[in-house]
Amino acid sequence: MALLGTEILQRLRENRKAKDPVPVVRLYNPYGKEFFLLVAQDAEDKEKYLCVCDIGYGPDYGFVTLSTLEDYDNRGIPLVYDEGEVFDKPWGAYLAMARKHGKIVP
């Protein structure tokens, strides 16, 4: 089963064109510290996604592949997301808040 649905993937593709896009989805480990706030699909490499992330060493930003997220396994627990979660600020604002608080803040 695919980690992300077609609607979310479409919104990530559309965000490639935005100047300062708003995040689309927050993936997280329900029993750990890993968070990935996905923002946009990379324009050149369709497998890569811009994200604000924290894998337990503090927040940062970069690119992650969808296959890495789909293969993530923490003792049999995959990453999950809340379908109803809404983001109302550009991704840079979430990165600034994450750095200020030392973690990704929804």
Q: Are 35 and 47 in contact (CB under 8 A)?
A: no
- pLDDT tens profile 79-97: 999 888 899 999 999 999 9
Query: Does the predicted TM-score (pTM) go above 0.75?
Result: yes
What is the pLDDT, as a whole number, of residue 1? 57
Q: Fill in the amino acid letter for 75.
A: R
pLDDT at 100: 94
Exposure string for 7-27, b = 16+ CB within 10 A, e = fewer: ebbebbeebeeeeebbbbbbb
* Residue 46: alpha-carbon gap to chain centroid: 15
One digit per residue, the tens of pLDDT, for the chain of length 106 reads: 578 999 999 999 999 999 999 999 999 988 888 899 999 999 999 999 999 999 889 999 999 999 999 888 777 788 999 888 899 999 999 999 999 999 887 7
